[in-house]
């Protein structure tokens, strides 16, 4: 059986320093039927020069817009230029495991999956302007199982503004061309504002027809944080915050178009963008999404926390405060009171966390006197989490990312609860490309194989079936929905 063609689309704009490493990381994949498509959103000439340096590799292709487009328009342009049967959107500061695409090909064929996703860590590039640069953070336990996910459960969770880890986020998602073409035929396009990496996955999930969405519960790449990434604007550390320039450009590129046409509230709060995305889908696919209304309590809580700077937002000022207060005043008072009680509790928890991180000299008796008795248990748990946070230094003998001979592999890891943070310099990694080369080593050394997500997904209603991911090639491809394929 011929292997399906995969296209990794890299949308980029004026980040040639990172782009070079990102292209090189994509080319580490040994999968034979691969295209790496760099889509240049009218950048300065340095971007084209970087791509030209890969001219000797026939897998690399370059396209360029004729003017600066908004992110949704650029992503729509980019994927339409691809030639693959399956498409992955990979940001110019993101990366994939070299072994990912070969496994996705097996999953697609075996399960007739039109939509696939996986878990990814968070890599802080060396140019990151807050602390934590050149580190890799991730959830340190995965089952390595394949989960057949129920789309309706994802929609319900999203309506509560709870984005589950199995949500097929736009930069760790692989979709079939046939499914994407169906989205264009029905809705006119695949990527919509304000957040194309959330609108497209919801649209694709809503258009599945006797096809599967498979989530691979495995650490298979990273999403990048760099000085000029969009997400940087929402990052905060004490009084220091990430750069807002790129995300300011992101909004400016819409050129005054209303990016919240389906929502009463128009402010640039992060949660309002999530809400607009679901409201959009209720308009595009009413037969699928009409049962799913945004949870007003969750929306009010989330935006209020942004105003309180517990969740940092660089775009909320007095004018936005007035607009939000007007919106809240129109809501059911019982809903508002429920939301405000959650906000009050969150403020207390945030104050406790700040105290813990700053190692304040305030004594426990004083805190116990100030806080209500019911909060003492939460404080104790936070203290225990701090005590469990430690540095692990040691040598691991693990295979390299491409399965080469074993070698000594030293890591410095900070483990805090379910999260691990690897100091990439401890194994000689200087940038994201070095991390990709050693990603499998890091996973082998730090990622415990546990089935917590299996139980959680089942209990929360996400799970249709679960499958072993190993040795898929050659399995029966005719299994029915929800019928596990036996090894």
pLDDT in tens, 398-438: 443 334 334 567 899 999 889 999 999 999 999 999 999 99
6, with CB counted inside 10 A (0-12, 13-18, 19+), is: buried
- Say how many C-beta atoms besides its own lie within 10 A of residue 17's C-beta: 18
∠ Cα 218 223 226 (to 5°): 155
- pLDDT single digits (tens) 289-306: 999 999 999 999 999 999
pLDDT of residue 393: 42
Q: How far apart are CA 487 and CA 476, in angstroms?
A: 10
Q: How far apart are CA 392 and CA 113, in angstroms?
A: 39
Q: How far apart are CA 114 and CA 463, in angstroms?
A: 17
What is the residue-level pLDDT of the chain in tens, covering all 487 positions? 689 999 999 999 999 999 999 999 999 999 999 999 999 999 999 999 999 999 999 999 999 999 999 999 999 999 999 999 999 999 999 999 999 999 999 999 999 999 999 999 999 999 998 999 999 999 999 999 999 999 999 999 999 999 999 999 888 999 999 999 999 999 999 999 999 999 999 999 999 999 999 999 999 999 999 988 888 888 888 778 888 888 899 999 999 999 999 999 999 999 999 999 999 999 999 999 999 999 999 999 999 999 987 777 889 999 999 999 999 999 999 999 999 999 999 988 777 765 665 554 444 444 444 444 455 455 455 554 444 444 444 444 344 333 433 456 789 999 988 999 999 999 999 999 999 999 999 999 999 999 989 999 999 999 999 999 986 754 544 333 344 543 3
112, with CB counted inside 10 A (0-12, 13-18, 19+), is: middle
Residue of 95, 99, 148, 163 lying closest to 124 (CA atoms): 95
By the 8 A CB rule, do 305 and 346 touch? yes
Residue of 195, 172, 175 lying closest to 183 (CA atoms): 175
Q: How far apart are CA 166 and CA 217, in angstroms?
A: 8
- Buried b / exposed e over 266-287, threshold 16 CB at 10 Å, is ebbbbbbbbbbbbbbbbebbee
- Say how many C-beta atoms besides its own lie within 10 A of residue 61's C-beta: 17
Instruction: Please list the residues that pair with 407 across neighbouring strands.
Output: 398
Residues 6+ away with beta carbon under 8 Å from 326: none
Q: How far apart are CA 141 and CA 80, in angstroms?
A: 36
Q: What is the largest CA-CA distance in the chain?
A: 70
- Say how many C-beta atoms besides its own lie within 10 A of residue 485's C-beta: 16
Enter the tokens of residue 274.
């999530």
Residue of 104, 121, 122 lying closest to 113 (CA atoms): 104
pLDDT of residue 367: 40
Residue of 302, 245, 251 lying closest to 272 (CA atoms): 302
What is the DSSP track for 53-121? TTTT-TTEEEEE-SS---HHHHHHHHHHT---SEEEE--TT-EE-TTHHHHHHHHHHHHTEEEEEEEEE
Q: How far apart are CA 67 and CA 253, in angstroms?
A: 11
Residues 6+ away with beta carbon under 8 Å from 325: none
By the 8 A CB rule, do 415 and 393 touch? no
pLDDT of residue 429: 97
pLDDT of residue 407: 52
By the 8 A CB rule, do 209 and 110 touch? no
Q: How far apart are CA 283 and CA 279, in angstroms?
A: 7
pLDDT of residue 449: 94
By the 8 A CB rule, do 7 and 87 touch? yes
Q: Which domains does the chain have, with CATH numbers?
A: 6-222+450-468 (3.90.550.10), 258-347 (no CATH), 389-449 (no CATH)
HSE on the CB side for 468, CA within 13 Å?
8
pLDDT of residue 487: 33
By the 8 A CB rule, do 205 and 131 touch? no
pLDDT of residue 377: 52
Measured between alpha carbons, how far is residue 200 from residues 74, 174, 193, 343, 410 in Å? 13, 11, 10, 31, 40
């Amino acid at each position: 059986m011929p292997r399906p063609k995969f296209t990794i689309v890299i949308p980029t704009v004026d980040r040639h320093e990172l782009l070079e490493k990102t292209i090189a990381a994509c080319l580490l994949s040994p999968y034979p039927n691969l295209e790496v498509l760099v889509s240049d959103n009218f950048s300065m000439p340095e971007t084209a020069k970087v791509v030209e340096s890969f001219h000797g590799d026939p897998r690399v292709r370059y396209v360029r817009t004729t003017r600066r487009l908004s992110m949704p328009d650029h992503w729509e342009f980019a994927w339409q230029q691809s030639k693959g049967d399956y498409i992955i959107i990979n940001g110019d500061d993101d990366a994939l495991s070299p072994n990912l695409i070969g496994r996705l090909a097996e999953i697609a064929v075996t399960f007739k999956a039109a939509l696939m996703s996986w878990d990814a860590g968070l890599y802080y590039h060396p140019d990151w302007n807050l602390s934590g640069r050149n580190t890799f953070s991730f959830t340190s336990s995965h089952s390595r199982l394949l989960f057949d996910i129920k789309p309706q459960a994802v929609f319900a969770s999203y309506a509560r503004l709870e984005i589950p880890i199995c949500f097929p986020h736009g930069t760790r998602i692989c979709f079939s061309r046939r499914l994407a073409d169906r989205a264009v035929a029905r809705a006119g396009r695949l990527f919509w504002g304000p957040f194309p990496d959330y609108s497209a996955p919801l649209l694709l999930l809503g258009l599945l027809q006797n096809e599967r969405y498979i989530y691979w519960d495995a650490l298979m790449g990273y999403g990048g944080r760099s000085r000029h990434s969009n997400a940087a604007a929402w990052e905060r550390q004490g009084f220091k915050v990430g750069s807002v320039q790129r995300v300011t450009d992101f909004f400016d590129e819409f050129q005054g178009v209303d990016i919240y046409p389906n929502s009463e509230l128009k402010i640039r709060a992060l949660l309002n963008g999530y809400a607009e995305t679901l409201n959009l889908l209720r308009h595009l696919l009413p037969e699928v999404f009409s049962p799913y209304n945004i949870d007003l309590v969750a929306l009010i809580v989330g935006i209020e926390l942004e105003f309180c700077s517990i969740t940092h937002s660089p775009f909320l000022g007095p004018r936005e405060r007035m607009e939000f207060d007007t919106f809240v005043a129109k809501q059911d008072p019982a809903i508002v009171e429920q939301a405000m009680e959650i906000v009050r509790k969150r403020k207390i928890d945030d104050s406790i966390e700040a105290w813990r991180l700053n190692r304040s000299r305030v004594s426990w008796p004083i805190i116990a006197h100030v806080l209500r008795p019911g909060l003492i248990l939460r404080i104790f748990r936070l203290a225990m989490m701090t005590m469990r946070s430690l540095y692990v230094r040691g040598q691991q003998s693990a295979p390299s990312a491409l399965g080469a001979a074993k070698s000594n592999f030293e890591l410095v890891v900070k483990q805090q609860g379910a999260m691990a943070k690897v100091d990439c310099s401890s194994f000689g990694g200087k940038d994201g490309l070095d991390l990709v080369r050693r990603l499998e080593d890091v996973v082998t050394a730090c990622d415990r194989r546990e089935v917590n997500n299996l139980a959680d997904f089942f209990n929360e209603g996400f799970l249709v079936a679960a499958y072993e991911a190993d040795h898929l090639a050659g399995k029966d491809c005719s299994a029915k929905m929800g019928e596990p394929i036996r090894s």
